[in-house]
Structure 1
Amino acid sequence: MRPDILAINQQTVGRQTGGMRSGSMKILFWLALLLNTFFFHACKNKDLDLYVESDKYSNAADFIGNNYNLTLFYAALKQADLLDLLKEPGPYTLFAPTNKAFNDLGIVRASDFASMKQDSLRQLLLYHILPRRLYTSDVPPNTIDNKYVNMMEKELFIGYKNQKVCAECTLISDFYVNGSKSVLATQNIVLANGVLHVVDKVLKYHPTIQDVLNSKPEYSLFIALLKRTGDWERLGAPANTTVFAPDNEAFEKAGITANDIAQLDPGKYGKRLSHVYLLYNHFFLSDMAIYGQLPGSGYYGSPYYRARIVGDELYYFGISANTPMEPFIIHSQAPEANTPLRISNFQPGYQTDYKADNGVVHGINSLLVLPEEALIKESTKTNQR
Structure 2
Amino acid sequence: MFIHQYTSAGRSWGLLLALFTALTLSFSACKKQEDNPPTLSTISEIINTGSKFTLLKAALVRAGLDGTLSQPGTYTVFAPTDDAFKLFGYADAAAINAAPVDVLKAVLQYHVLGTQLMSSAIPVAVNTAQQTLLANAVLYTSKVTSTSSTSATSTTLSVNGAHVLQADGQASNGVIYAIDRVLLPPIFGNVAATIQSIPILLPTASFKLLQSAVTKAGVGSILIGTGPITIFAPTDAAFTAVGYDSATIAKAPAGLLTNLLSYHVLNSRTYTPLITNGSSLTTLQGGTITAGISTTALTVTGRGNANTPSNITGPDITATNGVVHIIDRLLVP
- TM-score w.r.t. structure 2 length? 0.84
2:94 is the alignment partner of 1:114:
no
SS state at 1:69 partner = coil
Q: Distance in 2 between matches of 1:121 and 1:325?
A: 27
Q: CA deviation at 1:256?
A: 2.6
Q: CA deviation at 1:210?
A: 2.4
Amino acid at match of 2:281: Y
SS state at 1:89 partner = coil
Q: Distance in 1 between matches of 2:260 and 2:144?
A: 35
Q: CA deviation at 1:267?
A: 3.5
Q: Which moved more, 1:263-272 or 1:105-114?
A: 263-272
Q: Distance in 2 between matches of 1:92 and 1:117?
A: 25
On the 8 A contact 1:327/1:343 being kept in 2, the answer is no
On the 8 A contact 1:149/1:155 being kept in 2, the answer is yes
Segments of 5+ residues of structure 1 without an aligned counterpart are 1-17, 294-302, 331-338, 374-385
Q: CA deviation at 1:193?
A: 2.1
Amino acid at match of 2:93: A
On the 8 A contact 1:346/1:362 being kept in 2, the answer is no
2:275 is the alignment partner of 1:328:
no
On the 8 A contact 1:317/1:328 being kept in 2, the answer is no
CA deviations 1:299-337 (Å, max 9, x no partner) are xxxx3422450xxx5xx032335656542333xxxxxxx
Asked which structure has the greater CA Rg, the reply is 1
SS state at 2:126 partner = strand
Identify the residue that residue 208 of structure 2 maps to in structure 1.
220
Q: Distance in 2 between matches of 1:325 and 1:112?
A: 27
SS state at 2:127 partner = strand
CA deviations 1:363-382 (Å, max 9, x no partner) are 1110113xxx9xxxxxxxxx
4, 23, 32: which one aligns with 1:38: 23
2:114 is the alignment partner of 1:151:
no
On the 8 A contact 1:60/1:193 being kept in 2, the answer is yes
Identify the residue that residue 365 of structure 1 maps to in structure 2.
328
On the 8 A contact 1:240/1:280 being kept in 2, the answer is yes
* Structure 2 counterparts to residues 247-286 of structure 1, below 5 A: 247-261=235-249, 263-267=250-254, 269=256, 271-286=258-273
On the 8 A contact 2:74/2:115 being kept in 1, the answer is yes
CA deviations 1:68-117 (Å, max 9, x no partner) are 21111111111111121111222121111121221122211212233333
CA pair 158-204 structure 1, distance change in 2 beyond 3 A: same
62, 67, 70: which one aligns with 1:84: 67
136, 145, 155: which one aligns with 2:119: 136
Q: CA deviation at 1:168?
A: 8.3
Q: Distance in 2 between matches of 1:211 and 1:114?
A: 27
CA pair 342-226 structure 1, distance change in 2 beyond 3 A: farther
Q: CA deviation at 1:342?
A: 6.6
RMSD between aligned residues = 2.8
SS state at 2:60 partner = helix
CA pair 21-99 structure 1, distance change in 2 beyond 3 A: same
Q: Distance in 1 between matches of 2:41 and 2:310?
A: 42
Amino acid at match of 1:98: T
Q: Distance in 2 between matches of 1:342 and 1:280?
A: 24
CA deviations 1:42-86 (Å, max 9, x no partner) are 1212323444x332x321111111112111111111111112111
Q: Distance in 2 between matches of 1:79 and 1:270?
A: 45
Identify the residue that residue 240 of structure 1 maps to in structure 2.
228
Identify the residue that residue 209 of structure 1 maps to in structure 2.
191
SS state at 1:157 partner = strand
- TM-score w.r.t. structure 1 length? 0.74
Segments of 5+ residues of structure 2 without an aligned counterpart are 200-204
Identify the residue that residue 32 of structure 2 maps to in structure 1.
47
Identify the residue that residue 382 of structure 1 maps to in structure 2.
none
Identify the residue that residue 346 of structure 1 maps to in structure 2.
311
Amino acid at match of 2:311: F
Q: Give structure 1 regions of 4+ aligned residues with deviation exceeding 6 angstroms.
A: none
CA pair 47-361 structure 1, distance change in 2 beyond 3 A: same
On the 8 A contact 1:181/1:200 being kept in 2, the answer is yes
2:173 is the alignment partner of 1:193:
yes
Q: Distance in 2 between matches of 1:279 and 1:148?
A: 22
Q: CA deviation at 1:359?
A: 0.7
Amino acid at match of 2:174: G
Amino acid at match of 2:17: A
On the 8 A contact 1:251/1:257 being kept in 2, the answer is yes
CA pair 41-213 structure 1, distance change in 2 beyond 3 A: same
CA pair 221-41 structure 1, distance change in 2 beyond 3 A: same
CA deviations 1:198-247 (Å, max 9, x no partner) are 11111112222123212223222222221222223432333322111011
Q: Distance in 2 between matches of 1:114 and 1:205?
A: 20
Identify the residue that residue 300 of structure 1 maps to in structure 2.
none
Q: Percent identity?
A: 22
CA pair 79-326 structure 1, distance change in 2 beyond 3 A: closer
Identify the residue that residue 88 of structure 2 maps to in structure 1.
105
Q: Distance in 1 between matches of 2:71 and 2:100?
A: 25
Identify the residue that residue 274 of structure 2 maps to in structure 1.
287
